[in-house]
A = this chain, B = another copy of it.
Amino acid sequence: MIKMQAVANLVSGGSSGPQYLTGDKSSIDAFIDKFDVFLFDCDGVLWSGDHLFPRIPETIQMLRDKHKQLVFVTNNSTKSRADYKKKFDGMGIPAHEEEVFGSSYSAAVYISRIMKLQPPKNKVFVLGESGVEQELQSEHVPFCGGTDPLLRREMLPEDFKHIADGSLLDDDVAIVLTGLDYHPSYLKYALGMAYLRRGAHFLATNTDSTLPSAGSLFPGAGATSAPLITATGQQPLALGKPSQAMMEAIEGKFRFDRKKACMVGDRLNTDIQFGVEGGLGGTLCVLTGVSKKEEFLGEGKGVVPSAYVDQLGDLLG
């Protein structure tokens, strides 16, 4: 934490703490001018669930008019990039599918381009929704599990036997990948545990403990991996924020100078930490989501952003 604080202070220009930009037009312009690339968290920054925050389309357009490169970085594993593009369209926010970088895509890229397991022993057993499946497909990674309705059934007495003797297992599975799964089942957990005990790699799109929705908090993707962590004692490699594996994948795709990039987010322990640990030129915290300014103002605090605004639309001045 001490090291992180030091890095954060360095980034924010010394120990003077984060810069408050709301209402300060000249500081806003100077801040924006420092960067070529803006990485955006989505939920809590652009919108909350289905509620769009004020002046978001205009703010995004303003950055485009200044020729900034935009990347929308989300830990939501249930949606593919194509799903996200639809959400942006529905919200009236100008965006391209190629600008979206989700944790499911990050996991698919990690599996296909970094792990590069030899076919046919490269199949992924998925605990998650269609967003994970679509992104694995886009990277030509074979998978099973996921939304297969056959796995939503009850665990039968003979399943214990057939999992124990391996006859219910797919010989080609080499990876267990968990994302947020709205359809958990004991059968899925038992299969995932059996693959892990057999030596499969354990990956997670992300391990967010909570999912903000409807103004409250619900179980996040971390709740999907938790039963497997408890049952096996193994920890997954998380491919979402704040994992730097995700930053490397983003950088590999978009090729930018980290010092000219700024991470914008609402969560200190995911978004801002992601940008600080990634050595980005700056981080901007918006107060429309999870973290409150009291968490980073004052002495002896943890992760500190370079700057903050009450809401993203304040960047319009």
Chain A residues in contact with chain B, CB under 8 A?
Answer: 49, 154-155, 160-161, 163-165, 181-186, 189-190, 193-194, 197, 209-210, 213-220, 222-224, 226-231, 233
In the assembled complex, 16 residue pairs joining A and B whose CB atoms fall closer than 8 Å, in A order, are A154-B183, A160-B216, A161-B214, A163-B214, A164-B215, A182-B186, A184-B186, A184-B227, A193-B218, A209-B230, A209-B233, A217-B231, A219-B228, A223-B228, A223-B230, A227-B227
Taking CB atoms, residues of chain B closer than 8 Å to A219 are 186, 189-190, 193, 227-228, 230-231
Q: Which residue of B lies closest to A213 (CB)?
A: B160
- Beyond A161-B214, A190-B218, A197-B217, 12 additional contacts (C-beta under 8 Å) are A160-B213, A164-B216, A184-B185, A186-B219, A194-B216, A210-B231, A219-B227, A222-B230, A223-B226, A223-B230, A226-B226, A226-B229
Taking CB atoms, residues of chain B closer than 8 Å to A229 are 226
Contacts A189-B219, A193-B219, A231-B220 given; does A213 touch B164 at CB 8 Å: yes
Copies of this protein in the assembly total 2
Taking CB atoms, residues of chain B closer than 8 Å to A227 are 184, 219, 223-224, 226-227
Cα–Cα distance between A284 and B101 once the two chains are bound (Å): 57
Taking CB atoms, residues of chain B closer than 8 Å to A184 are 184-186, 189, 227
Taking CB atoms, residues of chain B closer than 8 Å to A160 are 49, 213-214, 216, 218
Counting from the closest, the 7 A-B pairs by CB-CB distance are A223-B227, A164-B216, A226-B226, A164-B214, A226-B230, A219-B231, A160-B214
Taking CB atoms, residues of chain B closer than 8 Å to A161 are 214
Taking CB atoms, residues of chain B closer than 8 Å to A163 are 214, 216, 218
**Residue among B49, B197, B214, B222 making CB contact with A231, cutoff 8 Å:** B222
Cα–Cα distance between A163 and B165 once the two chains are bound (Å): 41
Taking CB atoms, residues of chain B closer than 8 Å to A186 are 181-184, 219
Taking CB atoms, residues of chain B closer than 8 Å to A213 are 160, 164
Q: In the complex, which of the residues A210, A217, A223 has the most CB atoms of chain B within 10 Å of its own CB atom?
A: A223
Q: In the complex, which of the residues A183, A194, A222, A230 has the most CB atoms of chain B within 10 Å of its own CB atom?
A: A230
Q: Which residue of B lies closest to A186 (CB)?
A: B182
Taking CB atoms, residues of chain B closer than 8 Å to A165 are 214
Contact at A193–B164, with CB atoms within 8 Å? no
Cα–Cα distance between A165 and B213 once the two chains are bound (Å): 11
Taking CB atoms, residues of chain B closer than 8 Å to A193 are 217-219
Q: Which residue of B lies closest to A155 (CB)?
A: B182
Cα–Cα distance between A197 and B210 once the two chains are bound (Å): 12
CB of A129 to closest CB in B, whole Å: 11
